Amino acid sequence: MPTALITGASRGLGAAIARTLAPTHDLLLGGRPSSELDTLATQLEGSSTWPVELTDHEEMADAVDAIDSLDVLVHNAGVGSISTVEETPADEYRRIMEVNLIAVAELTRLLLPALREVGGHIVFINSGAGRNANPGWSAYAASKFALRAFADSLRAEEPGLRVTSVYPGRIDTDMQADIVAMEGGEYDGSRFLAPDTVAAAVAHAIATPADAHPTEIILRPTARR
């Protein structure tokens, strides 16, 4: 079977993507070492953990060294925070950019030979914040706008690869619950996209026949589930 590497796979959307791709792919489950990551790997046949700290570039380079070919790379790992421009120090911009952009760019660079080997597919889990910036989201939105630009440049540079940016609205995850709490709201997950819904869109893009290039997918919640 083809092989897919998914970052941020231990829970939430990453775990949903892993479960959706498991029937058709051997999986490398990326994430910090954790019991959740180990449990998921035991549940999904053909899966193994890839416990790498993405901001440690030397560790990442060592982990990538054994990957000779790769069919799918899903960049799902990310961080976020909410604060006004006035309240956001430079270190917070650096922290978010390091995970949401720089680690993504470096992992992509390291894996390009393996992806080129099989004409692979790279999926970037972006955000609605990668298309529209709202008050309080300057650092996160800046990282996602930058991720969008990176994906567009990569697509133009690598015609032998497929590059898809996915822009989901808010997703019903633990991270979303934390965000709503920071906003001072009451959490109602039914208002948001189900992780399985977004995972299905990712799987659909990957399964698109080779004569088509799914470049962008935009998903918005309907609050009808």
Enzyme catalytic residues: 140
Query: How many C-beta atoms surround the C-beta of residue 105 within 10 A?
Result: 15
To the nearest 10°, the Cα dihedral for 104, 209, 16, 139?
Answer: 30
Task: Tokens for 123, please give them.
Answer: 């999926």
| Gap between the Cα atoms of 80 and 97, Å rounded | 10
In the structure encoding, which two tokens stand for residue 71, read together?
Answer: 């069919």
C-alpha 76/C-alpha 199 separation (Å) is 11
Cα 136 from Cα 30, distance rounded (Å): 29
